[in-house]
Amino acid sequence: MNVLLEEFVLPRDLEMILNNSPSIIIPKTEEMLYDLIFGNGSTKQIDVSYDVNGTLVKEADVVRCKNGAVVNYVEDYMRRRDPDCMRIGDDKPTDKPRFKDVYGYDFNTLKVDTYKWLARQELILVPFMAGGYEYGYQALLVCPRNAAFFAFALSQLQAFVCAKDIHNFKPRAIVYVAPPFRHTHFDGKQVCVHNRLDDRHEVFAYNLYPGPSAKKGIYSVLLDIGEQEGWVTAHASAAKIVTPYENEMVMMHEGASGGGKSELLQDVHRVPDGRVLLGTNLESGDRDYLHMSDTCTIYPVTDDMAICHPSFQTGSGKLALYDGEDGWFLRVDGITEYGSDPMYERITIHSKKPLVFFNIQGVPGSTCLVWEHTMDSTGKPCPNPRVIVPRRMVDNIVDKPVEVDVRSFGVRMPPSSAAHPDYGIMGLMHIIPPALAWLWRLVAPRGFKNPSISGNAPLASEGVGSYWPFATGLRVRQANLLLEQILACPNTKYVLIPNQHIGVYRIGFAAEWISREYLARRGGVNMKMDRLSPAPCALLGYCMKEMKVDGQDIRSAFLHPETQEQMGMEGYEKGAQILYDFFAKELEAFDVEELHPVGKQILECFKKRGSIEDYCAITPLGLK
């Protein structure tokens, strides 16, 4: 028996597995765990296969490159997270599908079979801190040895704990990995079962793509703990923004996938001559540019998961947060050639420590290049190439909690005009009161051509906070936690920012970058009310009457889409009705007795088609 096991406090079921396993490895270092992937120094490529009812089934191949391990799955389906993979194995309150309701039998039956299978395997145990070293929770991965790449991936995403530092280690969460059950029990589908017990959260991963378990599964753990303790892990990026004049602002950006979280951490994109393309008129082809000499320096804080724990608060009335991850699971589909993203290209090509790549081409002994994406069986590049980058490798990374000045929400907007009215009626930036900020986070629209949705899906909700796909409990509980968080932080201000389109203008993510530059130069939402005018659609709060960036005026067409000749008020109002209909449909689920009293006021205001002044009466804007 491994003597290190004496330092763990484990549940009896896991002790029984370990007592019967032919071998147990507890890696003492990340380097040791990486070496376990290939078994020995001379091996350059391995197949990860499992016995499925007497047939050897290959799941993935893993190649040793100069800069890390490159993982490619046999099936296109396994190269991205199935959005319908979460099942709840316990009887605690939930709005998510229960295992027994979907499959017709109790999860305990499958759990016993999973334990029996694991007990026959050579195992790797990886202790880690879910949510980071300083503020996280003790957790443990139990994984078959031939899936060491998965264990290494988790060690890069979460805070790996060295074996020599383990003492009285009692995991608050345990992840069990049993890949062949995908074939024997779930018709080849990805399934991740969450089993919430009084003293721990168990995640049973029945596949080898880390998205549902090592990444979002741990997010589920943090949301579950927060639901019990009264705090939220927001689905957000965040950064400290420093202007050329050394003014500072902390900005947090939320939204559904494709809403601009990663883009907050990017420098302003420029065309070859150095100008910034603000927008292109889809009908005339006319382009609007800005000349921006100096732009802000970005100091990243979070990429995707922001722990908003009450212990971070300082009494300033601002929301405080810290990164919930030790590594970032970066999608690099936007890196299509050399020079697309110099920082991440440099980090991944010249990494001093091995990384792990997914859905990217790898040749044994060569350097893996993040723009060489694996081809799917369709002959097209896989849309979900990934690399895990430890946050300590990111330039200018911030390693302590920060207080948020501006909390923005990004929405993918479709092209809209009087001839083809749609909901793309948002101006370049809108200032909104906390009540509207809460409503937008309840409906969390996926928006136009969301990158995680096949085809041009109609307007749909990502769910409360845009993190609802990963939550295991009750929708209304999360809505109340979000509202309580917003009400407790009155000095954090809120804005809405569109991407992709403003009316008939294609903008990409320019509105986000320009808004970031503008707000940083002003020290946040630091303006008087006479600079604002109510948007014709009350859900959009206030528009900027005028906006000047680096000495240049932003044209009214970008601030007030209804002034665009191709849209006019008629097209705008039709788009506004689409938004109202969408909000009405999505907010029905929250109109329940358990909703926070202030939340009931806000919903009532919406149902009465309240004005922006009505929303501000419930939760003041905080401007003079």
Terminal Cα-to-Cα distance of the chain (whole angstroms):
68
Q: What is the pLDDT of residue 258?
A: 85
User: What residue type is assigned to position 413 of the chain?
Assistant: M
pLDDT at 471 over 60: yes
548 three-class SS: strand
3-36+50-56+81-229 fold: Phosphoenolpyruvate Carboxykinase; domain 1 (3.40.449)
According to DSSP, residue 98 is labeled B
The pair of three-digit structure tokens given for residue 331, joined into one six-digit string: 């999608």
Q: Please, are residues 151 and 117 in contact by the beta-carbon 8 Å criterion?
A: no
- Determine contact, residues 83/469, Cβ cutoff 8 Å: yes
What integer is the mean pLDDT of 459-477? 94
Q: How confident is the model at residue 450 (pLDDT cuts 50, 70, 90)?
A: low
Pairing relationship of beta strands 505-508 and 297-302 according to DSSP bridges? unpaired
Q: What is the mean pLDDT of the chain?
A: 94
Q: Which two tokens stand for residue 133?
A: 């070293």
Cα 464 to Cα 220: distance, rounded to the nearest angstrom: 14
The predicted model gives 323-333 an average pLDDT of 95
User: What global pTM score does this model have?
Assistant: 0.95
CATH 3.40.449.10 maps onto the chain at 3-36+50-56+81-229
Residues recorded for the chain: 624
Choose which CATH entry (3.40.309.10, 3.30.70.360, 3.90.228.20, 3.30.200.20) describes domain 233-318+405-618: 3.90.228.20
**Confidence at 454, pLDDT banded by 50, 70, 90:** very low
The predicted structure's pLDDT at residue 447: 80
Please state, in angstroms and rounded to a whole number, the distance separating the CA atoms of residues 559 and 377: 44
Q: What residue ranges of the chain are covered by domains with CATH 3.90.228.20?
A: 233-318+405-618
- Kindly provide the b/e burial profile for residues 211-244, where b requires at least 16 CB atoms within 10 angstroms of the residue's own CB: bbbbbbbbbbbbbbbbbeeebbbbbbbbbbbbbe
Token digits for 551? Answer: 């000495």
- Which single residue is written with the structure tokens 């484990």? 10
Exposed/middle/buried for residue 289 (C-beta within 10 Å: 0-12, 13-18, 19+): middle
What are the two backbone dihedrals, phi and then psi, of residue 392, each rounded to the nearest 5 degrees? -65, -15
Q: What is the pLDDT of residues 48-72, one digit of tens each?
A: 999 999 999 999 999 999 999 999 9
CB 587 within 8 A of CB 443: yes
Contact (CB, 8 A) for 296 and 241: yes
Check whether 579 has a pLDDT greater than 60.
yes
Q: How far is CA 67 from CA 60, 165, 363, 388, 535, in A?
A: 19, 28, 11, 12, 51
Per-residue H/E/C for 198-215: CCCEEEEECCCCCHHHHH
